[in-house]
Amino acid sequence: MTKTRSIIRGVGAYLPEKILTNAELAKMVDTSDEWIQQRVGIKERHIAAEGQFTSDLAVAAAQQALDAAGMTPHDIDLIIVATTTPDYTFPAAATLVQMKLGMHHGMAFDLQAVCSGFVYAVATADSYLQNGLASRALVIGAETFSRLLDWTDRGTCVLFGDGAGAVIMERVEIADGAPDRGVLASALRSDGHHWDKLYVDGGPSSTKGVGHVRMQGPEVFRHAVGKITDVVYDTLDKAGYTVDDLDWFVPHQANRRIIDGAGAKLGLPPEKVVITVDRHANTSAASVPLALSVAVADGRIKEGDLVMLEAMGGGFTWGASLIRW
Ligand code: UT7
């Protein structure tokens, strides 16, 4: 008897060159470096250049992930791009990534679950691989969230940044007695009753325009820690593990205080929590794979480690995925 698992073969990331500091933001809106650092934990964020689109960021991260996996686009038969900021209303950014990678084969689609998009995409790719619909997936979280910001609204414009992260997932059969690896369990949730607590006030069917991010920050904050910890416990339960078994917690990077709150509620030692919100800000669907890429590149996450990914965002949507690296 063997067990089918989706294993992570490579991780990649891309951050646009331009860095926007809190001090620069303080010249644009009534805010301060002190307020942003104290209330959110952000020091700086990256902003995509004029003419640089989400699919460009996604391709750069994808190429790094392919290199890390020792694969070429030829090896991939599924591309999922988790994004809320596609280049065009359609086609999916994923098909543009497919084209830019020179692929004519396989399937590609976008997944829209806002900040939870990457965790949703990992769980979705895992299902496709488990069911035999694909063998090797390129799963990307990519955003040019700066394009959705109202740069006069200090309540939102200081919080977000642009970037992309990617992983390669491969279906493997694990023989009885061999060490278990790959995605062990995922849990996904949503509750649309909270849609207007964090949303964009435009879209093709409503205003026929793009719109800007609108957020009732304290309301989102109020729900965040409870929803994150619930879904983490669900995921651990499904896989038969406890918080003590975790080597690394890679949370969505929205606010340092939310991450610290969730870590404390779970009883996780702070040194097991990967933090990048200070340098990346909230990059929505890109935040978890960007954080993952940092912790893999600096050698913290190693083969055999038990890693919990988690995210929560607009919808509300939230979810977690437990991976044996
Ligand atoms: O990724 C999706 C998930 N998103 C989130 O998880 C975001 C969740 N929410 C948050 O992280 C926090 O609610 C914020 C960071 C958005 C806001 O922090 P807060 O501690 O909840 O602040 P607040 O909105 O209650 O505002 C406190 C004060 C207000 O002033 P008064 O009314 O007390 O005088 C705000 O007007 O801070 C003021 N304020 C600011 N001051 C300086 C709000 N934004 C700013 C700012 N600079 N950028």
Ligand 1 pocket, 154 CB below 6 A?
yes
Ligand 1 pocket, 7 CB below 6 A?
no
H/E element, 166? strand 162-175
Ligand 1 pocket, 261 CB below 6 A?
no
Mean pLDDT for all residues in the chain: 98
Ligand 1 centre and the CA of 26: distance in Å?
A: 15
Ligand 1 centre and the CA of 44: distance in Å?
A: 17
Catalytic choice (115, 194, 212, 280): 115
Ligand 1 pocket, 25 CB below 6 A?
no
DSSP notation for 38-107 = HHT---EEEEPPTT--HHHHHHHHHHHHHHHHT--GGG--EEEEE-SS-SSSSS-HHHHHHHHTT--SSE
| 65-69: average pLDDT | 98
Could you give the CA distance from residue 143 to residue 116 in angstroms, rounded to a whole number?
12
Residue nearest to atom 38 of ligand 1 (CA): 155
| 73-82: average pLDDT | 98
pLDDT at 291: 98
> 281, 280, 254, 260: which is closest to 272 by C-alpha?
260
Write the pLDDT tens digit of every residue in 149-158: 999 999 999 9
> 283, 288, 268, 265: which is closest to 139 by C-alpha?
288
**Contact criterion met (CB below 8 Å) for 86 and 115:** no
H/E element, 198? strand 198-200
Write the pLDDT tens digit of every residue in 196-245: 999 999 999 999 999 999 999 999 999 999 999 999 999 999 999 999 99
pLDDT at 228: 97
Confidence of residue 1 (pLDDT cuts 50, 70, 90): confident
Domains of the chain: 2-175 (3.40.47.10), 182-324 (3.40.47.10)
pLDDT at 176: 93
Write the pLDDT tens digit of every residue in 249-275: 999 999 999 999 999 999 999 999 999
